[in-house]
Structures are given as structure tokens and as C-alpha cells.
């Protein structure tokens, strides 16, 4: 009898788990319903255009006036004393960031069937925010990979000399995947997404993203213009995903002027309370 009860309980948990996962995916792909999504789309297009023009100008100036001079000032690749920087720069590696976020999403999913009522709603709200951050980074990184393949810009000193204008388009060669920087894309997508949800950490996240970009140049993984291009790719990717969520009334609201603002989310105290409830025997 005990075995049967245990099996029934396990079967019920798995069924709830599947239901939660299906509902989560369904919310993401449902038809947009926000009445102000057109205003948000126009505002987003204006911001994209402004960012793209400003960044294109900055990249052009950096390529012609700064890139070669800057990388010539960097320590030789492989310098032993730079080991702390090589550890730090991995905080912007897309694989690590995405796996960490995926693990957090899985944990949220596994806990969900154990919650009911208000606790479940709090946990769902938290899950939506983590989902937004994960997809922001994922979409931005995927876009960067496509751009790298198309542009085919060489990394610093490929070919034996400092050359800001060495390209092999569609090469699929890691030595020619410098623009945009993948680490910069990841760092700025993560910084924008986290700041869009939790405004209080904006300064901290921006410092993190900028330092990741600086580390890529010092380690001779990228030219300065590459990290600027990565920053733009990350921000635009996160902005697009934010619009996608807002248009479906997930985690964000749209103002009359098309501005997108985060909905009030669960506090740290409420999340701790729910986590203790879920993990209690």
C-alpha cells in the first residue's frame, strides 16, 4: 500500500511538472495581447535606429583611429601575470552564463509543483523574470554568432601584424570571429536584462559588463571596436526580448508613450519564504 501511494504521488508530481512546463512555454508563444504594443514597437524601432547609428559611428572611428594603436599597447598574449584576468573574463562566457541561468530555471520548475496559492504566484513571477534574462542572453548570443560568421573579422595579430581590416567572410574560422565580441554581447545582454528587472543593480551590472569588455581587449581576444559592437548586439537582443514579453503581459507593462517598465516583482524576503516552504520536508 505504501509503495502504491508513493508511486501515485510521484506520478502526480511528474504530471504537474509537465503541466507547469507546458504553461510556461505556452505563455511565451501566445498571441500578443497588450493594447499598446504598437506604441512600444515604434519606440523600440526609434531606440534601435539611434543606437545603431551611434554605434556604427563609434565602430568606424575606432577601426580607423584606435584599434591598431590600442592592441599594440597590450601585454603579449599569454602573459603569465594576467591569469586573474583570464579567470574573470570567463564570467562573460556565454556557455557559463546560459548554463547557470538554465540551471536556475530548472530549479524553479522542479519546485513549482510543491507550491500553491500565493506562494505559487510569487514563484511564477520570479520564474518569468529569470526566463526573460535567459532568453535575452540566448537571443543576443545567437545573433552575435550569425554576425561573426558573416563579417569574418580577424582577431588581433592574426596574420602576424596589427591589422584592423583583415577579413574572411563566411569562413567559420574562430580566428576570424572577432566582430562582434561574444563575451561583450553576453555581458551587456545580461547587464541590460537584469537591470530591466531589478533597477537597483543597474550600476553594478554596468560595471561588470564594461570590465568584461576591457578584459577582452587586454587579453588580445578582440579589438576595441569588437567589444563596442558586442555591447550593441547584447543590448538590442535584450531589448527585443523585453518587448516580446511586454507585448504578452509577462513581467513588463507598456506606458502610453510606448515605454516598457517592469511590473512589481516579488521581494527577496518573499522569495526566501517560498523557497523555505518548498524545501521543507
pLDDT tens per residue, range 129-186: 999 999 999 999 999 999 999 999 999 999 889 999 999 999 889 999 999 999 999 9
Backbone phi, then psi, for 252, in 5-degree steps? Answer: -140, 155
CA atoms within 13 A on the CB side of 245: 29
Break the chain into its structural domains and give their ranges: 36-279
**Shortest CA distance to 92 belongs to which of 197, 226, 196?**
226
pLDDT band at 8 (very low <50, low <70, confident <90, very high): low
pLDDT on residue 24:
81
pLDDT band at 94 (very low <50, low <70, confident <90, very high): very high
- pTM for the whole thing? 0.92
More confident residue, 120 or 224: 224
**Alpha-carbon distance 66 to 68, whole Å?**
6
Average pLDDT, the chain: 90
pLDDT on residue 170:
94
Amino acid at each position: 500500500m505504501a509503495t502504491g501511494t508513493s508511486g501515485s504521488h510521484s506520478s502526480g508530481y511528474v504530471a504537474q511538472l509537465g503541466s507547469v512546463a507546458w504553461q510556461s512555454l505556452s505563455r511565451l508563444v501566445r498571441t500578443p495581447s497588450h493594447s499598446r504594443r504598437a506604441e512600444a514597437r515604434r519606440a523600440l524601432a526609434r531606440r534601435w535606429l539611434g543606437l545603431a547609428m551611434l554605434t556604427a559611428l563609434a565602430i568606424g572611428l575606432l577601426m580607423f583611429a584606435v584599434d591598431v594603436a590600442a592592441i599594440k599597447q597590450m601585454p603579449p598574449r599569454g602573459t603569465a601575470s594576467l591569469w586573474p584576468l583570464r579567470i574573470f573574463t570567463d564570467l562573460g562566457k556565454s556557455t557559463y552564463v546560459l548554463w547557470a541561468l538554465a540551471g536556475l530555471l530548472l530549479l524553479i520548475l522542479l519546485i513549482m509543483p510543491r507550491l500553491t496559492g500565493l506562494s505559487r504566484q510569487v514563484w511564477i513571477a520570479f520564474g518569468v523574470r529569470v526566463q526573460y534574462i535567459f532568453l535575452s542572453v540566448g537571443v543576443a548570443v545567437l545573433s552575435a554568432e550569425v554576425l561573426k560568421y558573416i563579417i569574418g573579422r580577424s582577431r588581433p595579430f592574426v596574420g602576424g601584424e596589427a591589422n584592423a581590416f583583415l577579413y574572411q567572410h563566411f569562413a567559420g574560422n574562430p580566428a576570424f570571429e572577432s566582430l562582434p565580441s561574444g563575451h561583450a554581447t553576453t555581458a551587456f545582454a545580461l547587464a541590460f536584462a537584469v537591470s530591466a528587472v531589478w533597477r537597483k543593480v543597474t550600476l553594478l551590472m554596468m560595471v561588470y559588463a564594461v570590465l568584461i569588455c576591457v578584459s577582452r581587449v587586454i587579453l588580445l581576444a578582440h579589438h576595441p571596436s569588437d567589444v563596442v559592437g558586442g555591447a550593441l548586439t547584447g543590448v538590442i537582443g535584450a531589448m527585443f526580448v523585453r518587448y516580446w514579453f511586454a507585448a504578452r503581459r509577462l513581467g513588463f507593462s507598456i506606458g502610453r508613450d510606448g515605454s516598457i517598465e517592469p511590473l512589481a516583482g516579488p521581494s527577496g524576503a518573499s522569495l526566501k519564504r517560498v523557497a523555505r516552504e518548498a524545501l521543507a520536508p
